[in-house]
Structure 1
Amino acid sequence: MTKNKSLFPFILITSLFFLWGFAHNLDPILIPHLKKSFTLTTVEATLVDSAVFIAYFLMALPAGFMMKRYGYKAGIITGLLVFACGSYLFIPAANTQQYAFFLVALFIIACGLTILETAANPYASSLGAPETATQRLNFAQSFNGLSTTLAPIVGAKVILTRDFTPAQLHGMTAGARKLALAAEASSVKMPYFILGSVLVLIAILFAFTRLPKIQHREGHTASKSIFHALKHRHLAWSVVAQFFYVGGQVCVFSLFILYATKAAGLQEEKAAYYLGACGLAFVIGRFIGTFLMRYYSSTRLLAAYAGINILLCTVAIWGHGMTTIYTIIVMCFFMSIMFPTIFALGIKELRGDTEFGSSLIIMSIVGGAILPRVFGYISDATGNIQYGYAVPLVCFIVVAYFGLRGHRVNARQETLSAPVSI
């Protein structure tokens, strides 16, 4: 297939990275919003993240089976429609004012995201020359990073427009308070309706677009089970590395405001602006990292970035004042290339095991549900949230090892797959 013929499909695929990143980065807006709307405890509010990560864990393998049986195009369209269905469910969830309904909607959205990520990541890396797969995936993932900056801003302006202060709520009668909280819960309906409609339109566009099919050449043996895929040492290591990386990233981003208020004494509102700076550093890092991969090995770049972040974690643990905040912003820059690079290296030369390999790496995202709790336990036990950065430090050590040695392919060489036009 020619370069011109693959350009438009690649643009479509890249749009998916932005969309699922946008959905993910609305969650930090939803957590405090729903917490107030339903007068939840902090533990109850964190069920938003739990619903999302559980979906990733449960749906990754079924998504891999779907891709193997019906192909990437069918998987992408299915993922978009499931994503849209979950978005539309925010309307009855707001109407019924049931927190459990919101969690179901988020779970369904995450199921759609899981299917999309299982399909789009390997497809983007395969849509072109094998030697530029990691660079190509990092470029597509850069638009995922862009949503890290845009989604919280859009979400705050659209969803939090009817936000009431605790003092205002306290001064209301019980009936007025109930109506006010219902109005807050209802503010999610329009943005998620628009999101769902956009997703349906994109699914229709995919349905009528001729996409290149990733097809294996003669002599290739298709995988029969997930256990066969795990025989690839570099895939097994990529699953481990991705588990720790995602866990470390969630520790850094999700707990940033709490960290900033304790380590640097910032007010929450001001800390939120610095969190936006973290997102901006992250997206800039994605684009710069993609550019650097034209000149440097992706494995060496990954190891170097992880090594730098190991040093930055020590500053985050032992530093003081605003030095710690600037340290975390720089850390976000060097985290930027890790997810797509680990993914691309993990599915390298898997051939018939690619679908199952993709599923396993997506399943490892469950690290984002587990390791932040370890961070919290360390912080609570020591009485110092900065000590929690021992968790990201360990995470980056694992990523550094993967970049240095764990990525090496030792499976028997087979004929590489190539895209052909359908």
Structure 2
Amino acid sequence: MSTAIEKNNSKQSSFIPMVIVGGLFFVFGFVTWLNGSLIPFLKIACELNHMEAYLVTMAFYIAYTIMALPVAAVLKRVGYKNGMVYGLLVMAIGAVIFIPAAQARMYSVFLLALFILASGLTMLQTAANPYIVLLGPKETAAVRISIMGLLNKSAGIIAPIVFTAFVLSDISQFDETRLAMLDEVERNAALLDLSSRLVMPYIVMAIMLAILAVMIKFSPLPEPVLEDDKDDSDDKWAILRFPQLIFGALTLFFYIGVEVIAGDTIGLFGQEMGVTNFGQLTSYTMAFMVVAYLTGMAVIPRFISQETALALSGALGIILTILLLTSSVESADVWQNLFSWTGVPEIPNVVLYVALLGFANALVWPAIWPMALDGLGKHTSTGSALLIMGISGGALMPMIYGYLVESSGNSQSAYWIMLPCYLIILWYALHGHKIKSWTK
């Protein structure tokens, strides 16, 4: 992929841009992986069933599909740097809307706030992901994205812990048995008190996002420019000529689906399995993702290629899903044998397998992006938007999982929905990314 940096910035090292964009990826992770703790919280505060609770993921991730192409048009007009600034400001607006939602305990307003937050994230990600790809050789793009992923998932470890400390403390007083003993007035007052715990954290978040926007605006972040990056108005459908991109976007759809299922359903699943620290379980998934990112940075491309890493990820996802579906819900011997030395509270095997999917998932995103964008040239910004649209898998797949739970009454068996997703990831790694033309 041929790129050029504006001449007046040609001597600047890529280190500073990497640091700046790395900070943004930390923000992505913190905001995104709060959902894993937010889902069981809102399920209690707004008295929801599984399907209703997973509307959190629907509202959040559907924004990527609805907003991706409009955002691509905005980026062509204002540039990558300003796009990041505008994205942060939109996110700040979304965080502010959480305040009246929490004060009124209105689930519909929570969903609106999540949609606006994710719309800002869409602009940030559409600008930042290709930016990282363009900052160096294509062969090491997966390593650079892995560094960003490491920051993203590190934030995903921290966010549930912070959320639990400030919002989920003493959550046991809001269990269904105790709430059922209260009359309607007392029950509503207790749940409103719980919901109001969100006000201060989201005030702080809005302020921090606004400050970040100002810092990015006045930062020395250079503007990447694709060679021959001109409006292709004479052929608006040119992007569809690249099979590796189309298949890449579809693969990302199913990948984001399983990533969000692993990160955002583990809290409710753990709660049903009797795990007391269920609000922190997303941190377990993120921790395994961090380990995988570090592993990927060490071995790609020195020992294995991006393609091989993607194939291994798909295969491991299949194996872990089968273990999850077939294991006893009562045993915790895997944690006791492998992870008791950490001092972290143990979890049942089935919950651990959900967390371990983080290890299988981590290298999928950084591998697919350079493979899918290979050879797009001036179509890269539109291709990036198409890949971002694949994030809508995070909206639909958890909803399907929630439907399966509600219809079967079994949270464990509903995880079968991940098997076809990992098979598609494996196919793209072995064959799909090699298809460069529809006519061959």
Identity level (%): 31
Alignment partner of 1:215 out of 193, 202, 225: 225
Give the whole-Å Cα distance in 1 for the aligned partners of 2:271 and 2:213.
42
- The yes-or-no answer on 1:165 pairing with 2:174 is yes
Alignment partner of 2:252 out of 218, 232, 242: 242
- The yes-or-no answer on 1:182 pairing with 2:192 is yes
Deviation per residue, 1:199-253 (Å, 9 max, x gap): 11111111112322222335x6654365211211110110111011111222333
TM-score by length of 1: 0.87
> Secondary structure, in 3 states, of the residue corresponding to 2:241?
coil
Alignment partner of 1:123 out of 126, 131, 141: 131
- Superposition deviation, residue 10 in structure 1: 1.2
Paired residues of 2:36 and 2:267 also in contact (CA < 8 A): no
> Secondary structure, in 3 states, of the residue corresponding to 2:168?
helix
Aligned to 1:134: 142
Give the whole-Å Cα distance in 2 for the aligned partners of 1:27 and 1:312.
23
- Superposition deviation, residue 272 in structure 1: 5.5
TM-score by length of 2: 0.84
- Superposition deviation, residue 105 in structure 1: 1.4
Question: What is the identity, as a one-letter code, of the residue corresponding to 1:207?
Answer: K
Paired residues of 1:137 and 1:344 also in contact (CA < 8 A): no
> Secondary structure, in 3 states, of the residue corresponding to 1:215?
strand
Paired residues of 1:94 and 1:189 also in contact (CA < 8 A): yes
Segment drifting more, 32-41 vs 230-239: 32-41
Aligned to 2:54: 46
Paired residues of 2:250 and 2:390 also in contact (CA < 8 A): yes
Question: What is the identity, as a one-letter code, of the residue corresponding to 1:67?
Answer: L
Alignment partner of 2:288 out of 281, 305, 308: 281
- Superposition deviation, residue 155 in structure 1: 0.7
Alignment partner of 2:422 out of 388, 396, 409: 396
- The yes-or-no answer on 1:368 pairing with 2:376 is no
Paired residues of 2:143 and 2:297 also in contact (CA < 8 A): yes
Give the whole-Å Cα distance in 2 for the aligned partners of 1:183 and 1:411.
58
Give the whole-Å Cα distance in 2 for the aligned partners of 1:186 and 1:384.
32
- Superposition deviation, residue 128 in structure 1: 2.2
> Secondary structure, in 3 states, of the residue corresponding to 1:80?
helix
Consecutive unaligned residues of structure 2, counting only runs of 5 or more, are 1-8, 333-348
Give the whole-Å Cα distance in 2 for the aligned partners of 1:11 and 1:204.
16
- The yes-or-no answer on 1:194 pairing with 2:204 is yes
Paired residues of 1:248 and 1:395 also in contact (CA < 8 A): yes
Paired residues of 1:309 and 1:334 also in contact (CA < 8 A): yes
Give the whole-Å Cα distance in 1 for the aligned partners of 2:129 and 2:423.
24
> Secondary structure, in 3 states, of the residue corresponding to 1:5?
coil
Q: 1:191 to 1:347 in 2, by over 3 A?
A: same
- Superposition deviation, residue 325 in structure 1: 4.0
- Superposition deviation, residue 2 in structure 1: 6.3
Aligned to 2:358: 332
Q: 1:249 to 1:261 in 2, by over 3 A?
A: same
- The yes-or-no answer on 1:26 pairing with 2:52 is no
Consecutive unaligned residues of structure 1, counting only runs of 5 or more, are 413-422
Paired residues of 1:223 and 1:229 also in contact (CA < 8 A): no
Deviation per residue, 1:265-297 (Å, 9 max, x gap): x41325556553222111111121122113121
> Secondary structure, in 3 states, of the residue corresponding to 1:269?
coil
Aligned to 2:5: none
Aligned to 1:203: 213
Aligned to 2:82: 74
Q: 1:330 to 1:221 in 2, by over 3 A?
A: same
Aligned to 1:294: 301
Q: 1:38 to 1:331 in 2, by over 3 A?
A: closer
Question: What is the identity, as a one-letter code, of the residue corresponding to 2:159?
Answer: A
Give the whole-Å Cα distance in 2 for the aligned partners of 1:35 and 1:231.
44
Give the whole-Å Cα distance in 1 for the aligned partners of 2:400 and 2:108.
26
Give the whole-Å Cα distance in 1 for the aligned partners of 2:49 and 2:271.
20
Q: 1:270 to 1:84 in 2, by over 3 A?
A: closer
Aligned to 2:101: 93
